[in-house]
């Protein structure tokens, strides 16, 4: 098969042709004086902060400097174990452990940022080159022989300029997403932060609380080809729940203690792994549940789902501490029924609910926009390394 002709001035080279390939090392642990707070000692988990890396969980001392290879600022740091191809640029002088392949680029022919974007693009190729062991490993020899298409230095810098602008747009979208998350919490506290203005009521005063159940797992007729949604505490994520991954049959529903929770029910996790206990969400579909979930079916004349959800959400730590904060401490119906919340006028609650719905619609738009930006960036990457951009 004929290779596609390279653009004028471009060359096919191996990674070892663009600079020096270096694998890191680990100073002997029996000499604690080699470790200190002087030189960042980069490992793959440290490569999680964007284009640059300048800090690490562990550092090497000045005494240990002689036991490692120091990489200069501008070196390319590439993970060669586990998540193959995770990459960053050294923002300062640093060293790495042996799970990292470093490239000290020849600045006369290779731009650091260009190589950074190139490594991101050829990540699938690096993954294929890695060993097929339980933990994938890409050794220095295989890494060095990976072939790339290298444009002239001036062209590299033009490509970087275009990709950096696209990358910045993605960062702005990420910042906008974070601001949206904080916005509703701020609005809630502004509208309802002064609890002394409102009457205190128990959840039992304004809602019907019910706990789910689990059909016998020994009966296939309760589970196979089910049509009834059946949720677990781990399904409680985000503000709204629009789909449930598991189902039971109508017979399973009839033969168990589980109940149908209607749309707009606020569900709360009684227990679960990690941070699950005490989390809440609003149902946008009917569902049953297991016994680790309580459905709070509201009286809509007294309270809105959005107000109740955000009230409980802002009091997450308080709710968890009702029974202590150990993983084995579980909430129960009795505790939740007697839990007190301030009850503002329903008109004010509904005003907040309308703001929540507007923001949720905005978040969906942002989610679509983020996907579009990701797709656009990937297209730019493909075109950039084929010289199909106008540069």
Pairing of strands 266-269, 293-298: antiparallel
**Shared domain check, 90 and 60:** yes
Tell me, yes or no, whether 27 and 144 share the same domain. Answer: yes
Note the pLDDT of residue 307. Answer: 96
pLDDT bracket for residue 298 (50, 70, 90): very high
Is the pTM higher than 0.85? The answer reads no
- Given a cut of 60, whether residue 287 has pLDDT beyond it is yes
Q: Does a structural domain hold residue 160?
A: yes
Are residues 89 and 214 part of one domain? no
Work out the percent of the chain whose per-residue pLDDT is above 90.
Answer: 68
Co-location of 122 and 51 in the same domain: yes
pLDDT of amino acid 25: 94
- pLDDT tens digits along 205-234: 999 999 999 999 999 999 999 999 999 999
Of the two residues 359 and 216, the one the predictor is more confident about is 216
Give domain status of residue 192, yes or no: no
The per-residue pLDDT for 364 is: 74
Query: Looking at the predicted structure, is the pLDDT value of residue 336 above 90?
Result: yes
Q: Is residue 58 part of a domain?
A: yes
How many structural domains is the chain composed of?
3
373 and 251 in a single domain? The answer is no
Same domain, 98 and 115: yes
* One domain, residues 115 and 208: no
Q: For residue 263, is it within any domain?
A: yes
Q: pLDDT band at residue 133, thresholds of 50, 70 and 90? A: confident
Note the pLDDT tens digit of each residue in 16-32. 999 999 999 999 988 99
pLDDT at 153 exceeding the cut of 90: yes
The residue range of the domain holding 34 is 11-150
The stretch 69-82 carries a mean pLDDT of 95
CATH number of the domain where residue 271 is located: 3.90.220.20
């Amino acid at each position: 098969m004929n290779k596609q002709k390279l653009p004028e001035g471009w060359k096919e080279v191996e990674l070892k042709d663009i600079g020096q390939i270096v694998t890191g090392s680990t100073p002997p642990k029996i000499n604690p004086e080699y470790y200190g707070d002087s030189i960042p000692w980069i490992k793959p988990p440290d490569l999680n902060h964007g284009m640059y890396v300048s800090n690490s969980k562990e550092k090497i001392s000045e005494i240990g400097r002689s036991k490692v290879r120091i990489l200069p600022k501008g070196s390319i740091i590439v993970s060669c174990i586990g998540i193959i191809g995770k990459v960053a640029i050294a923002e300062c002088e640093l060293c790495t452990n042996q799970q990292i392949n470093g490239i000290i680029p020849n600045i006369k022919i290779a731009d650091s940022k260009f190589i950074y974007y190139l490594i991101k693009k050829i990540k699938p190729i690096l993954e294929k080159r890695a060993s097929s062991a339980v933990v994938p490993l890409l050794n220095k020899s295989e890494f060095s022989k990976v072939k790339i298409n290298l444009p002239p230095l001036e062209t590299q810098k033009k490509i970087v300029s275009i990709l950096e602008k696209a990358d910045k747009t993605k960062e702005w979208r990420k910042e906008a997403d974070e601001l949206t998350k904080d916005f509703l919490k701020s609005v809630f506290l502004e509208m309802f932060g002064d609890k002394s203005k409102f009457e205190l009521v128990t959840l039992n005063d304004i809602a019907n609380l019910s706990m789910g159940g689990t059909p016998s797992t020994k009966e296939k007729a309760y589970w196979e080809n089910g049509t009834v949604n059946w949720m677990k505490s781990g399904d409680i994520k985000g503000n709204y729940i629009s789909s449930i991954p598991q189902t039971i049959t109508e017979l399973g529903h009839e033969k168990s203690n589980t109940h149908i929770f209607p749309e707009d029910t606020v569900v709360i996790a009684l227990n679960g792994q990690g941070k699950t206990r005490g989390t809440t969400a609003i149902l946008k579909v009917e569902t049953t549940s297991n016994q680790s979930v309580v459905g709070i079916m509201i009286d809509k004349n007294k309270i809105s789902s959005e107000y109740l959800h955000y009230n409980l959400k802002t009091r997450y730590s308080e709710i968890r501490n009702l029974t202590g904060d150990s993983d084995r401490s579980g909430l129960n119906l009795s505790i939740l029924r007697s839990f007190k919340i301030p009850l503002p006028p329903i008109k004010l609650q509904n005003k907040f609910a309308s703001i929540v719905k507007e923001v949720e619609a905005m978040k969906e738009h942002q989610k679509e926009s983020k996907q579009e930006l990701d797709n656009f960036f990937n297209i730019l990457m493909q075109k950039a390394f084929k010289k199909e951009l106008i540069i």
